Structure 1
């Protein structure tokens, strides 16, 4: 018994003295604020894109009466054709459950919005994500184009790669090469995935800023550190819909 107690004491002491891996990426508002975002990707049937967008434009008010739409875009480059991407905001999971129950009882929304549009959709993907603690949704100064950069990081979570990723994002923003709208860390969906939503005045200004940043040693150093934890990356150029809150 004394030997067992001695081993337990040594183990607990070693645990207290061992260096703790932590990251500001994984602490702060995310733990204290239940707000999360639902990221929707809809793959539409060929030739149905215009019809779908027109339907949504006319009837989106039936859906936004229940919860907040952050933004709605069509994918221009970097993904499958006839694809739309949209983001919805919820206070917490109880709020989302309440919204879903209300929608299930909303006959007008079902008959005029849901049923007509379902016939135009080939496939849907949903993800639940939180904003990282050092970021909040930033509304762009004027209309432009958006870029959704999706980073699949190595297993280990933000405690492993969070600080390096933060420095890479901030290097682009702080040096004026682009503007960040939001940085989302996936909670449900593929884990260790981060979506960065960028804004630029145009596709050409985005290209110019990207070329300049590649020649800036400060950005290069920050990115080089972050890519040590990167498994894959995909970029999509997004065009905001006329009814999107984020233009």
Structure 2
């Protein structure tokens, strides 16, 4: 049985984020998040059980079946936060955060905190770990009632920001959280917006494309953007990497790269 045309569907788009370190081919963190988009089909035919049909847009009610991959069988989640800072306040914000970050880490675990060098000016990116959504809700409630946190940090930091963004992610099954063997240097955050369908459709191809860079050492940054560019050029001429990327690229919607430096108080640095 197949669905008729002119039907509105909710389609999950999946975002993958990969973080690498400049001095280790073994350090690689991969996170996955699911975002919901609306697709108004005109000539699209889909099996009944692939997506969940919804009424016309004027009566729109969200309805979707999300894949139940390994990341959803574990409650641990990682919140990505990106703050944009007023240019003239960038140094002051980093100084304040360096001095007061312990007020925040008293409530939950900080994984890493970086200043973005390329891929966005006057931005910081940080990752917070939670055992569950319930724990995160409890932490946020406690912070809202913490007078020291509010008076010594939030009341001063918020006016320095132009925007805040966050998203919930999970570690993919083949990635594990650990520290690089050497501190310092450059981290790269690569965000991949993948086609609908989830890891069941493109997971193996994506993993192969990521790990194809490891054996030759192309995923290893060696201290500067110039050396990174050199390794990227070599990777693009390696038949093994090209073949793996070619199989994965058909599932890619968009890609965004950021080079980041860890802040002095970052656990990952």
5+ residue gaps, structure 2 = 1-46, 48-66
In 1: Cα distance, 2:83 partner to 2:208 partner: 32
Coordinate RMSD, CA, aligned: 1.8
Q: State yes or no: 1:52 paired with 2:93.
A: yes
| 1:75 equivalent in structure 2 | 116
| 1:130 equivalent in structure 2 | 170
Q: Which has the higher helix share?
A: 1
Compute the TM-score of the two structures, normalised by the length of structure 1.
Answer: 0.78
| 1:109 equivalent in structure 2 | 149
Tell me the CA shift for residue 141 of structure 1. 1.6
Contact 1:26 1:162 in 2 (8 A): no
1:34 to 70, 75, 78: 75
Contact 1:26 1:158 in 2 (8 A): no
Tell me the CA shift for residue 90 of structure 1. 0.4
- The CA deviation string for residues 29-60 of structure 1, in whole angstroms up to 9 with x for no partner, is x2332111000011111211000000000000
In 2: Cα distance, 1:27 partner to 1:201 partner: 36
- The CA deviation string for residues 177-235 of structure 1, in whole angstroms up to 9 with x for no partner, is 225xxxxxxxxxxxxxxxxxxx6543333223212211111111001111011111111
Compute the TM-score of the two structures, normalised by the length of structure 2.
Answer: 0.71
The number of residue pairs the alignment matches comes to 203
- The CA deviation string for residues 66-88 of structure 1, in whole angstroms up to 9 with x for no partner, is 01111111111122x11111111
Q: State yes or no: 1:164 paired with 2:205.
A: yes
Runs of 4+ in 1 over 4 A off after TM superposition: none
User: Would the alpha carbon gap of residues 200 and 94 (structure 1) be closer, same or farther in structure 2, given more than 3 Å must change?
Assistant: farther
In 1: Cα distance, 2:236 partner to 2:68 partner: 28
